[in-house]
């Protein structure tokens, strides 16, 4: 008996060390729009019958242990406990059993009934902030749509095509050949801006990585990186109208409480810049305090941004009343700075 217990414990320890886990997955219960088909061996036959189909995305190795979320057993809340194991579900196809959601708050989330290639049923959670069903952090990508969509160029001269469209939250989204998702209004803004320039395809490709706001009163656009502001953030904001373009330099901090920031230091490898004492504006958001300093970008600010973008190590330090807040910029942030500089240069040359 003692030997059997020791053997069982050894197997259990080895299982845990190997990263294997016993995961409980709750499946949904609903009646499909058309009966599911099984062979005599009880093997499920995957038959989308023209419905919108998708596939579970591959993930970087560092994210594979997180599995796949958003496949829920019910529609009670905006989140669900299920985590589908990556190794079992990667590359698995599925289809939406309904074009319309079975539940939505009309503002932030929707639930769709889906059936996977293995016969399992779930309610798929689609969130507005992510861009709907196929947004940037969605675990799925589209395979085919239930409409006869004609593939078209994203913009004349671009190698990127629009390969599909779908509607979430009364908003039309376009699926691009690079697997990015673009909202209808953003596509219009990109086309409106880029058509004014001779290098419109280069401009449009760079604009794909941005978030664009249009001011109807001034007939102008504000363009900035399509990324949430980090706890400590430095970025360029580009303005453009029919006659000119301009750049603004912004340093900001987002936290749960006011820090009373009075200045900043940026370090790019062996180069450093120290700001004088500054007056940061304070904006109280929902459960967050946003402190920021923003000015027109002159040559000094452009030199700072270029050095940060090309450095191997870039650090932003914020001088608060009782502390020094520092954070190293990620490679994606440095690329965003470089993209904004390139975009600014391209937008300074109009069609002749």
Q: Strand, helix or coil at 301?
A: helix
- Sequence-distant (6+) residues with CB within 8 A of 121 are 27, 28, 29, 30, 32, 113, 114, 115
pTM confidence score: 0.76
Taking only the tens place, the pLDDT of each residue in 301-332 is 999 999 999 999 999 999 998 899 999 999 99
CA dihedral 300, 305, 307, 312 (to 10 degrees): 160
Taking only the tens place, the pLDDT of each residue in 143-202 is 887 667 788 889 888 889 998 888 877 888 888 888 788 889 999 999 999 999 989 999
- C-alpha–C-alpha distance, residues 312 and 309, integer Å: 9
Provide the mean pLDDT of the chain. Answer: 88
pLDDT band at 4 (very low <50, low <70, confident <90, very high): low
CA distances 45 to 52, 89, 116, 287, Å, are 17, 17, 10, 49
Instruction: Look at the alpha carbons of 340, 342, 343, 347 in this order and tell me if their dihedral is positive or negative.
Output: positive
Say if residue 139's pLDDT is above 70.
Answer: yes
- Sequence-distant (6+) residues with CB within 8 A of 238 are 222, 223, 224, 245, 246, 247, 248, 340, 343, 344, 347
pLDDT band at 91 (very low <50, low <70, confident <90, very high): very high
Q: What is the reported pLDDT for 113?
A: 97
CA dihedral 33, 35, 38, 43 (to 10 degrees): 20
Q: Strand, helix or coil at 3?
A: helix
């Amino acid at each position: 008996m003692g030997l059997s217990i020791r053997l069982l414990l050894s197997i259990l320890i080895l299982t845990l060390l190997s990263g294997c886990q016993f995961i409980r997955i709750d499946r949904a219960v609903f009646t499909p729009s058309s009966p599911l088909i099984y062979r005599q061996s009880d093997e499920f036959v995957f038959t989308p019958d023209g419905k919108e189909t998708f596939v579970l995305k591959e993930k970087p190795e560092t994210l594979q242990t997180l599995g796949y979320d958003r496949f829920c057993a019910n529609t009670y809340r905006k989140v669900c406990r299920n985590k589908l194991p990556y190794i079992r579900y990667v590359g698995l196809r599925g289809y939406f059993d309904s074009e319309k959601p079975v539940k939505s708050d009309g503002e932030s989330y929707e639930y769709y009934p889906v059936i996977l290639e293995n016969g399992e049923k779930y309610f798929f959670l689609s969130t507005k902030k992510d861009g709907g069903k196929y947004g940037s952090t969605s675990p799925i990508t589209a395979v085919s749509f239930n409409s006869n969509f004609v593939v078209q160029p994203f913009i004349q001269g671009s190698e990127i095509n629009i390969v599909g469209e779908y509607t979430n939250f009364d908003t039309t989204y376009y699926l691009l050949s690079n697997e990015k998702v673009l909202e209808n209004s953003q596509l219009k803004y990109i086309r409106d801006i880029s058509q004014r320039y001779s290098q419109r395809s280069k401009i449009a490709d760079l604009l794909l990585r941005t978030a664009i706001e249009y001011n109807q009163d001034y007939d102008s656009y504000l363009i900035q990186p399509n990324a949430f502001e980090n706890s400590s953030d430095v970025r360029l904001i580009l303005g453009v109208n029919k006659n000119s373009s301009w750049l603004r330099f912004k340093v900001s901090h987002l936290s749960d409480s006011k820090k009373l920031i009075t200045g900043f230091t940026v370090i790019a490898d062996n180069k450093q810049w120290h700001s004088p004492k500054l007056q940061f504006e304070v904006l109280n958001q929902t459960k967050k305090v946003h402190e920021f300093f923003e000015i027109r970008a002159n040559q000094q600010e452009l030199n700072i941004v270029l050095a940060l973008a090309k450095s191997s190590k870039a650090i932003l330090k914020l001088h608060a009343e009782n502390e020094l807040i520092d954070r190293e910029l990620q490679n994606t942030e440095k690329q965003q700075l470089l993209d904004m500089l390139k975009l600014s240069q391209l937008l300074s040359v109009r069609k002749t």
